[in-house]
Amino acid sequence: MTFKVATLKDIPNLCKLLTELFSLEKEFTPNEELQNNALKTIIEDEKIGHILVCQIDGKIVAMVNILYSISTALGTRVAILEDMIVSNEFRNQNIGSKLLEFAKNFAKEQGCKRITLLTDSDNFKARKFYEKNDFKKSSMIPFRTFLS
């Protein structure tokens, strides 16, 4: 099991993982063209973020995005964690926890002082996973609008 920053050549495998993830989520629909464009944008500009992956025998089996912002409250760089997914066939092997620990250390090395994430309110398995990995529920409630 190895962890690394994704490269452009990893995009087809990342798209497969995102299709698996977005098939589970209520608010998102898989769209390989959109996913491909977004992944390329992130990978090509490390100021935007990094995509971190777990490989087993050279195969990408899990991924997570770390996207960057500046917190005026903290006066420094912070991260948003998105698209955390372990391929179904590799779940329950502690891969997610190890990838998340890699991501937390990586974000810290990038100068981040906080990581924020969103998960579906009724995804109790994910909520328990993040709590087990030292994330705390925030009192803030997310709101969203789509701009056309």
Q: Is residue 26, in this structure, part of any structural domain at all?
A: yes
Instruction: Give, in order, the Cα–Cα distances in Å from 99 to each of 86, 95, 105.
Output: 9, 6, 10
Q: Is residue 143, in this structure, part of any structural domain at all?
A: no
CB atoms closer than 10 angstroms to residue 69: 14
pTM as predicted? 0.92
In order along its 148 residues, the chain shows pLDDT tens digits of 999 999 999 999 999 999 999 887 777 788 889 999 999 999 999 999 999 999 999 999 999 999 999 999 999 999 999 999 999 999 999 999 999 999 999 999 999 999 999 988 888 999 999 999 999 999 998 888 889 8
Please count the structural domains in the chain: 1
Q: Is residue 105, in this structure, part of any structural domain at all?
A: yes
Mean pLDDT over each residue of the chain, to the nearest integer: 94
Beta strands at 2-5 and 76-86: parallel, antiparallel or unpaired: unpaired
pLDDT of residue 30: 81
Which two structure tokens, joined as six digits, stand for 72? 């005026």
